[in-house]
A and B are shown apart, each in its own frame.
Chain A
Amino acid sequence: MNNSDKIKRSGPVLFSEYEKGSSVKKALEMEREEILFEIKDSGLKGRGGAGFPVSTKWMLTAAANAEQKFIVCNADEGEPGTFKDRVLLMEYPWLVFEGMIIAGYTVGAKNGIVYLRAEYSYLLEFLEDYIDDLRKENLLGKNICGRDFEFDINIILGAGAYVCGEETALIESLEGHRGEPRNRPPFPVNTGYLGFPTSVNNVETLSSVPHIIMKGSDWYNKFGTEKSSGSKLISVSGDCNYPGVYEVSWGTTLNEIIELTGAENTKAMQIGGASGVCLPASEFHRTLAYEDIATGGSIMIFNKDRSMLEVLKNFMEFFVEESCGQCTPCRIGNVKLLEGVEMIEKKDYTPEYIDKLKDLGKTMQIASKCGLGQTSPNPFISILENFKDEIFSKN
């Protein structure tokens, strides 16, 4: 286990005191609607990055008319620079699984599936043993806690594609197909795994649920900002003294993060991984919040010695590699953007062509089929804009 695997700061929300199994017992005493309203009042939003309200997703899944429903835990943590879900799975698996059980009870699903990224396959045995324990403790299986409720969880390994973090590509992969996004609509809450209503939730999202059930939405709302309740796990890497996982309240500024992690001479921060935005020092007063800079949790810090063009090239190479190849804008567009970066690198470009590529990037943002292609031009646009002096003066 390397240094960054350790939890550097346990905040007061996700890592607050919690008795294993207690939330499931409490939830099963509640009406399904009560749980939905509690989650709704808590304002919990998806922690994978997109920030979709959890209660809405669950409500739609619950309302869908079908023989079967599924809860899928998205543990395909693939955004470059994020490793917080791994920490939750390793050190707090009960929170994840209990969140799934409560979700299953709430929407009326009998099956939960954890889609575990291939790179975390070393966790498989540990997690399966843990699920076995839950079965023994009657928190999984039939008549859970003596109630008329049945739920079980199994784990399916991914095969290493970044795009499978996108929920519909994840479902395709679960079904044994090429991991490629589907058309939306229909959304998974209506037509998901095997065509059945499916709620796909991030590891961290599910881990928040047991706390909300036990401590209530009012308690949860005490943390964070008005529009972003609770806390966020962030994985900090790059040029800082204390990389690792931190639980911070929503509303934390980038400057505070620099201070927490002991970063020096920071030139830029990439928030939200490769698909996020790259901000210069002049923006470090801004906050992590759905209403300001939303993030799935990846924060990369770059100090003054870093070449931002090299950073950008690295990101674009990543997207060229990870585009699923299905839709035109993403499959070819990313290649064109990377070529543009290489042109700048070789000092063989015209400003007009680079502008044309930025324009192309804007098309990709609205024309690509899924979030991958819609966000992959972000670093191209934000780095070339925010660091234009450095990049173009040198070149």
Chain B
Amino acid sequence: MLQIDGTSTDGAPTARQRWLRLLSHAPLELLESAIGTLAGPNPQWLRRPETGLVMVQGRIGGTGARFNLGEVTVTRCALRTDPARIACREVGVAYVLGRSGRHAELAATADALLQDSSARTHVPADLLEHISAWLENKHAKRRAQAHATRVEFFTIARESAGEPAAQEAP
């Protein structure tokens, strides 16, 4: 169960970090059906959706020195929600992978609403769980696909264990 509040426990991601992650990974159709009507035609843009490159860094084994892994396409925006639609003073921010400005806009709208204790009720209560379940399902499918192609290298293990190497190509 995901907590929707601004509290932060030491080291662990805050509730906001968790929902920002989920919103940025959510499929556009799911966001469109849940947030699409709340977004309104005239959000107050602090930063219109803009697409650029972000350098992703990695660490080997999670502990080595940082190295640049490669650039990814990211779309970001910041907004206040359309005042004609919902009264909410918070600023919503979104960074999403890819080029979808609409995805960024919907994610930022949801972020703004979730931060405001009175406007939060407009967001479907089960939205985050839906996204979470959808993501889990997607990852499970990928794991299953990858698992089907898994190769067990028993042969090599047996060969190296004692068979003569005579059959090897010169």
Partners in one complex: no
